[in-house]
């Protein structure tokens, strides 16, 4: 870690312990997102880290962002995920938007005053994203959006939504990306999902009924939407990986502290080889995942994004997060199963990491596809 | 299973029907609200299943471990939480009284427990003594015609709902000097603590039993003073086999839900069932479930024949919950986003199953038991 990263990490460690940790269990139970907390992270410069400074960003790298997200995830996967998605939205606007769009939408996102959301999935198109059904029909002065979006992270609390809708033919070539703002006529929020984990981060359905979006809100040009979405996901996979690694590190931290304190049969349970082996495996798998995520981020920062490596990093780190958090519950035993300790929450939060940003099954498809390409 | 008797097959049908009509429709709600489905529990009394192993003279069904395991699997498919409460009542409380109490004690307590008029629990674990159960420190001091009990029991299933608690205590400094008492709700100095909030098994109440100079009459002692260790261990074997039945039910429910979903959900123009990745997951989880069922039912059958000891019971308790967590995680994965939401049962089943790797002896304790038995001779060298 370089100096900036060490500084970021220690600043965020203080912040999460002071501001997030004390109420995190309570907020999880009540499914309560604290906008003021997000905004505070924004004031400290953590909500637009990778954006250029002329748009209010911090001009940092994805490697830096990964360090920050991992640290926040130790206390709350939900806040880390909110930042990860909002940063992704900013990156889309910065890369594919025109000057007016950047000027109009970026400052409030990079400052953390507002949240951004990315809207691709629908009830019948998840892994098969290119089959999405939502339509954007050309009308006078803009487009009329009809349909609904599912599983939208920050749905309802975000102000700026990047929405993928069909402007043309079937398949990926007929998809376009639009910037939609909270409050637009014909845009409303559907039901809030009741989930196993990620309870602080709201997941919502979005409903569009003849929602008229001005032409200037189209990103790039018609038919460019799928490319935008895929480019965004390549980045998203790396940041999700860093969240998974932070989650693992917290689970290991809890496991070791507890097993050094808890005594059964008159000795610290850490001294039982059965637990030592579990913890050695947890630490090794986590370290391997961290290195993979760092490597993928490094390639990205160097301008040579490696899709295969990003998929590998996402798959490996999130599978590890599931395993490590499950083992942490096991090591803490009965208390690990209760909400008095964070490990059961980490385990619940881990599961969705294997599902979103492309399920780990889809990552395997991506990896296999590039393996085939390498050999043909 | 080919070796089930007519009576056991009948029980399987009855339990399956009951689970479908009385348990499954309410499982999601009780999980969300952290409430106990007391109506269904009481109806289990009418079904005659609450005293599955108890003598007919007290209203019991006079069946064994295999029958209880069948009930656990069938109820477990619908609501593992309620099934855990059923287990705490029928196996930990009723069966212990049936096997270890005097005729007078049985006459006094069993009839109401068997009908469901009373709810039972068992108290063993303490805050500082979990895996090291023999080390418990709740003290019972002999005062002639009564005992004074002090201490706290932790992780007690049914605690706040129980009328009758079957409680292990320490009556001497020697490690194995343990004695058991039947403690009734309302006895002076006895209370239950706050409910414990859990990751899963949320429809099964968990709490503490608190003894603050609790006065317990001599006639409530089970057997002789200081002789509880043997029957405590013996009942744990039955508990381990039957709790594995809950995990088996969870596995089957996951397989059923996954098959259904794979036939309904379309991506890339085809049902998920067409993808080899999905086929592999379903084929493997179904194979594992079938293997676990044959393992468990065989051990339960042999237990009823008096053929097995601690090792096979520990083996089913280790292997089944452990594999079922994997199966349930795969079932969520197969369901994708929907599996993570509460609209489908698989995330609840996974949360519920995790407890079975911890309760009734952790996986690690099972490994200790198996290894100690296998390595008994070698460890002397």
The answer to whether residue B381 sits within a structural domain is: no
Across the interface, whether the CB atoms of A121 and B337 are under 8 A apart is answered yes
Across the interface, whether the CB atoms of A339 and B347 are under 8 A apart is answered no
* Residues of chain A with C-beta less than 8 angstroms from the C-beta of B198: 337-339, 344
Across the interface, whether the CB atoms of B267 and A126 are under 8 A apart is answered yes
Q: What CATH number is attached to the domain comprising B363?
A: 1.20.140.10
Q: Which helix (H) or strand (E) holds B149?
A: strand B146-157
Whether B199 and B312 share a structural domain: no
Closest Cα to residue A142, out of A212, A225, A220? A212
Which entry of A71, A114, A294, A357 is annotated as an active-site residue?
A: A357
Instruction: Please state the rounded mean pLDDT for residues A102-118.
Output: 98
> Which pLDDT does position A244 carry in this prediction?
98
Total domains, chain B: 3
Residues 6+ positions from B164 with CB-CB distance below 8 Å: B93, B109, B113, B118, B119, B120, B121, B182, B183, B184, B185
- SS3 state of residue A264: strand
The answer to whether residue B114 sits within a structural domain is: yes
Whether B182 and B236 share a structural domain: no
* Residues of chain A with C-beta less than 8 angstroms from the C-beta of B372: none
Across the interface, whether the CB atoms of B199 and A329 are under 8 A apart is answered yes
Q: Over 90: is that where the pLDDT of A317 sits?
A: yes
Here the tokens at position B31 are 């999980």
Residues B343-364 have pLDDT tens digits of 999 999 999 999 999 999 999 9
Indicate the DSSP class of residue B210. Answer: E
* Nearest CB partner across the interface for B337, out of A333, A348, A355: A355
Three-state helix/strand/coil letters over A170-223? CCHHHEEEEEEECCCCCEEEEEECCECCCCCCCEEEEEEEEEEEEHHHECCCCC
Across the interface, whether the CB atoms of B340 and A355 are under 8 A apart is answered yes
* Nearest CB partner across the interface for A334, out of B337, B358, B364: B358
Interchain contact A11–B (C-beta under 8 A): no
* Residues of chain B with C-beta less than 8 angstroms from the C-beta of A326: 325, 329, 354
Instruction: Please state the rounded mean pLDDT for residues A324-330.
Output: 98
Instruction: Please state the rounded mean pLDDT for residues B64-83.
Output: 98
Whether B368 and B251 share a structural domain: yes
The answer to whether residue B78 sits within a structural domain is: yes
* Nearest CB partner across the interface for B342, out of A194, A272, A347: A194
Interface confidence (ipTM) of the complex = 0.81
Domain that holds residue B206: 121-228
- SS3 state of residue B216: strand
Q: What CATH number is attached to the domain comprising B26?
A: 1.10.540.10
* Nearest CB partner across the interface for A330, out of B336, B351, B358: B358
Interchain contact A348–B (C-beta under 8 A): yes
Q: What CATH number is attached to the domain comprising B189?
A: 2.40.110.10
Chain-centroid distance, C-alpha B275: 37
Across the interface, whether the CB atoms of B267 and A330 are under 8 A apart is answered no
Q: Over 90: is that where the pLDDT of B298 sits?
A: yes
- Determine the distance in angstroms separating the CA of A319 from the nearest CA of chain B, rounded to an integer: 11
Across the interface, whether the CB atoms of B364 and A121 are under 8 A apart is answered no
* Nearest CB partner across the interface for B357, out of A263, A322, A330: A330
Across the interface, whether the CB atoms of A194 and B32 are under 8 A apart is answered yes
> Which pLDDT does position A261 carry in this prediction?
96
* Nearest CB partner across the interface for B341, out of A193, A348, A359: A193
Residues A120-163 have pLDDT tens digits of 999 999 889 999 999 999 999 999 999 999 999 999 999 999 99
Instruction: Please state the rounded mean pLDDT for residues A303-321.
Output: 96
List strand residue ranges (DSSP E) for chain A, in order: 116-119, 135-139, 142-153, 160-166, 175-181, 187-192, 203-214, 263-264, 267-268
- Determine the distance in angstroms separating the CA of A352 from the nearest CA of chain B, rounded to an integer: 7
* Residues of chain A with C-beta less than 8 angstroms from the C-beta of B326: none
Whether B243 and B194 share a structural domain: no
Q: Last residue of some domain: B183, B208, B228? A: B228
Q: What are phi and psi of B218, to 5 degrees?
A: -55, -40
**If you average pLDDT over every residue of chain A, what do you get?**
97
Residues A242-297 have pLDDT tens digits of 999 999 999 999 999 999 999 999 999 999 999 999 999 999 999 999 999 999 99
A149: β partners:
A206
Whether B239 and B219 share a structural domain: no
> Which pLDDT does position A132 carry in this prediction?
96
Residues A39-83 have pLDDT tens digits of 999 999 999 999 999 999 999 999 999 999 999 999 999 999 999
- B23 contacts B32 by C-beta, under 8 angstroms: no
Here the tokens at position A92 are 């889309």
The answer to whether residue B358 sits within a structural domain is: yes
* Residues of chain B with C-beta less than 8 angstroms from the C-beta of A197: 340
> Which pLDDT does position B142 carry in this prediction?
97
B167: β partners:
B123, B181
> Which pLDDT does position A66 carry in this prediction?
98
* Nearest CB partner across the interface for A126, out of B32, B154, B337: B337
* Residues of chain B with C-beta less than 8 angstroms from the C-beta of A127: 267-268, 336
Residues B136-164 have pLDDT tens digits of 999 999 999 999 999 999 999 999 999 99
Report, as residue numbers or ranges, the catalytic residues of B.
239
Q: Last residue of some domain: B228, B258, B287? A: B228
Model-level pTM greater than 0.95? Answer: no
Residue whose structure tokens are 């490696």: A306
The answer to whether residue B1 sits within a structural domain is: no
Instruction: Please state the rounded mean pLDDT for residues B303-319.
Output: 95
> Which pLDDT does position B381 carry in this prediction?
83
Across the interface, whether the CB atoms of A329 and B341 are under 8 A apart is answered no
Q: Tell me the pLDDT band of B308, cut-offs 50, 70 and 90.
A: confident
- CA distances to A250, A258, A328 from A254, in Å: 6, 6, 7
Whether B115 and B147 share a structural domain: no
- Determine the distance in angstroms separating the CA of A373 from the nearest CA of chain B, rounded to an integer: 21
The answer to whether residue B346 sits within a structural domain is: yes
Residues of B with CB under 8 A from a CB of A: 32, 125, 128-132, 135, 154-155, 196-200, 266-269, 277, 325, 329, 332-333, 336-337, 339-343, 347, 350-351, 354-355, 357-359, 362-364, 367-368
- B23 contacts B44 by C-beta, under 8 angstroms: no
Residues B268-283 have pLDDT tens digits of 999 999 999 999 999 9
Interchain contact A375–B (C-beta under 8 A): no
Whether B236 and B288 share a structural domain: yes
Whether B350 and B239 share a structural domain: yes
How many residue pairs from chains A and B have C-beta atoms closer than 8 A? 115
Across the interface, whether the CB atoms of B367 and A274 are under 8 A apart is answered yes
Across the interface, whether the CB atoms of B268 and A128 are under 8 A apart is answered yes
Q: Last residue of some domain: B228, B247, B266? A: B228
Residues of chain A with pLDDT > 90, as a percent, come to: 98
Across the interface, whether the CB atoms of A194 and B364 are under 8 A apart is answered no
Q: Which of B28, B159, B350, B354 to mutate to test the interface with A (most CBs of A within 10 A)?
A: B354
Alpha-helical (H) ranges within chain B are 6-18, 24-33, 38-47, 65-78, 80-87, 95-100, 103-115, 228-264, 276-304, 310-335, 337-340, 346-356, 363-374
Residue B352: closest C-alpha in chain A: A337
* Residues of chain A with C-beta less than 8 angstroms from the C-beta of B199: 329, 337-339, 344, 347-348
Instruction: Please state the rounded mean pLDDT for residues B24-53.
Output: 97
* Residues of chain A with C-beta less than 8 angstroms from the C-beta of B351: 196, 348
Whether B363 and B234 share a structural domain: yes
Cα(B30)–Cα(B19) distance, integer angstroms: 15
Q: How far apart, in Å, do the first and last CA atoms of chain B sit?
A: 43
- SS3 state of residue A160: strand
The answer to whether residue B380 sits within a structural domain is: no
Q: Over 90: is that where the pLDDT of B309 sits?
A: no
- CA distances to A51, A57, A67, A111 from A10, in Å: 22, 20, 10, 21
Domains and CATH numbers, chain A: 3-115 (1.10.540.10), 117-223 (2.40.110.10), 227-375 (1.20.140.10)
Whether B68 and B192 share a structural domain: no
Whether B278 and B342 share a structural domain: yes
- CA distances to A60, A298, A311, A338, B240 from B362, in Å: 46, 42, 35, 15, 10
Q: Over 90: is that where the pLDDT of B1 sits?
A: no
Whether B262 and B334 share a structural domain: yes
Interchain contact A194–B (C-beta under 8 A): yes
* Nearest CB partner across the interface for A196, out of B128, B129, B347: B347
- B250 contacts B75 by C-beta, under 8 angstroms: no
Burial class (CB in 10 A: 0-12, 13-18, 19+), B326: middle
Cα(B241)–Cα(B318) distance, integer angstroms: 10
């Amino acid at each position: 870690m370089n100096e900036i990263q060490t500084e970021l990490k220690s600043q965020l460690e203080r912040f999460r312990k002071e501001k997030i940790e004390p109420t995190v269990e309570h907020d999880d139970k009540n499914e309560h997102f604290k906008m003021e907390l997000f905004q505070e992270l924004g004031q400290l410069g953590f909500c637009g880290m990778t954006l250029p400074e002329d748009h209010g960003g911090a001009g940092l790298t994805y490697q830096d962002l990964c360090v920050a997200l991992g640290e926040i995830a130790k206390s709350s996967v939900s806040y880390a995920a909110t930042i990860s998605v909002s940063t992704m939205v900013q990156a889309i606007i910065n890369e594919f938007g025109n000057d007016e769009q950047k000027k109009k939408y970026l400052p409030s996102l990079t400052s953390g005053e507002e949240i951004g959301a990315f809207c691709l999935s629908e009830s019948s198109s998840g892994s098969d994203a290119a089959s999405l059904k939502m339509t954007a029909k050309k009308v006078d002065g803009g487009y009329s959006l009809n349909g609904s979006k599912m599983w939208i992270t920050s749905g309802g609390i975000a102000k700026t939504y990047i929405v993928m809708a069909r402007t043309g033919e079937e398949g990926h070539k007929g998809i376009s990306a639009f910037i939609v703002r909270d409050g637009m006529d014909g845009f409303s929020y559907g039901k809030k999902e009741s989930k196993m984990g990620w309870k602080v981060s709201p997941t919502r359905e979005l409903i569009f009924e003849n929602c008229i979006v001005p032409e200037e809100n189209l990103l790039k040009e018609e038919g460019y939407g799928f490319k935008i979405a895929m480019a965004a996901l390549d980045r998203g996979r790396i940041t999700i990986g860093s969240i998974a690694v932070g989650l693992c590190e917290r689970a290991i931290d809890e496991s070791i502290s507890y097993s050094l304190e808890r005594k059964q049969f008159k000795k610290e349970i850490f001294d039982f080889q059965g637990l030592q082996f579990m913890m050695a495996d947890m630490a090794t798998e986590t370290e391997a995942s961290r290195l993979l995520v760092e490597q993928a981020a490094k390639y990205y920062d160097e301008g040579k994004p490696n899709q295969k490596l990003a998929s590998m990093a996402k798959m490996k780190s999130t599978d590890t997060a599931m395993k490590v958090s499950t083992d942490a519950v096991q090591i803490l035993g009965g208390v690990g199963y209760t909400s008095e300790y964070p490990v059961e929450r980490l385990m619940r939060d881990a599961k969705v990491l294997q599902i979103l940003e492309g399920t780990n099954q889809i990552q395997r498809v991506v990896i296999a596809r590039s393996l085939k390409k390498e050999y043909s | 299973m080919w070796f089930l008797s007519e009576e056991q097959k009948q029980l399987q049908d009855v339990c399956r029907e009951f689970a479908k009509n009385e348990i499954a429709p309410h499982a999601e709600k009780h999980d969300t609200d952290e409430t106990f489905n007391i109506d269904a529990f009481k109806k289990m009394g009418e079904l005659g299943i609450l005293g599955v192993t108890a003598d007919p003279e007290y209203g019991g069904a006079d069946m064994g471990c295999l029958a209880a395991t069948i009930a656990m699997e069938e109820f477990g498919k619908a609501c593992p939480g309620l099934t855990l409460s059923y287990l705490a009542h029928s196996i930990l409380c009723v069966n212990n009284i049936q096997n270890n109490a005097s005729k007078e004690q049985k006459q006094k307590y069993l009839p109401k427990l068997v009908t469901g008029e009373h709810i039972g629990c068992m108290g063993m674990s303490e805050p500082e003594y979990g895996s090291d159960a023999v080390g418990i420190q709740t003290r019972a001091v002999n005062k002639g015609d009564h005992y004074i009990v002090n201490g706290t029991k932790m992780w007690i299933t049914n605690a706040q709902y129980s009328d009758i608690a079957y409680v292990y205590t320490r009556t001497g400094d020697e490690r194995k000097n343990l004695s058991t008492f039947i403690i009734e709700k309302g006895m002076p100095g006895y209370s239950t603590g706050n409910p414990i909030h859990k990751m899963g098994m949320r429809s099964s109440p968990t709490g503490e039993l608190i003894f603050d100079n609790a006065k317990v009459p001599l006639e409530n002692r089970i057997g002789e003073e200081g002789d509880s260790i043997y029957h405590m261990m013996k009942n744990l074997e039955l508990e381990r086999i039957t709790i594995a039945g809950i995990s088996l039910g969870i596995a089957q429910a996951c397989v059923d839900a996954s098959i259904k979903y794979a036939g309904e959900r379309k991506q890339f123009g085809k049902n998920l069932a067409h993808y080899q990745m999905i086929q592999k997951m379903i084929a493997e989880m179904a194979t594992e479930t079938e293997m676990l069922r044959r393992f468990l039912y065989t051990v339960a059958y042999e237990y009823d024949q008096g053929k097995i000891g601690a090792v096979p019971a520990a083996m089913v308790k280790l292997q089944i919950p452990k594999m079922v967590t994997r199966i349930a995680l795969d079932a969520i994965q197969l369901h994708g986003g929907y599996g993570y939401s509460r609209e489908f049962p698989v995330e609840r089943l996974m949360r519920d199953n995790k407890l079975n790797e911890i309760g009734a002896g952790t996986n690690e304790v099972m490994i200790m038991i198996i290894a100690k038995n296998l390595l008994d001779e070698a460890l002397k060298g």
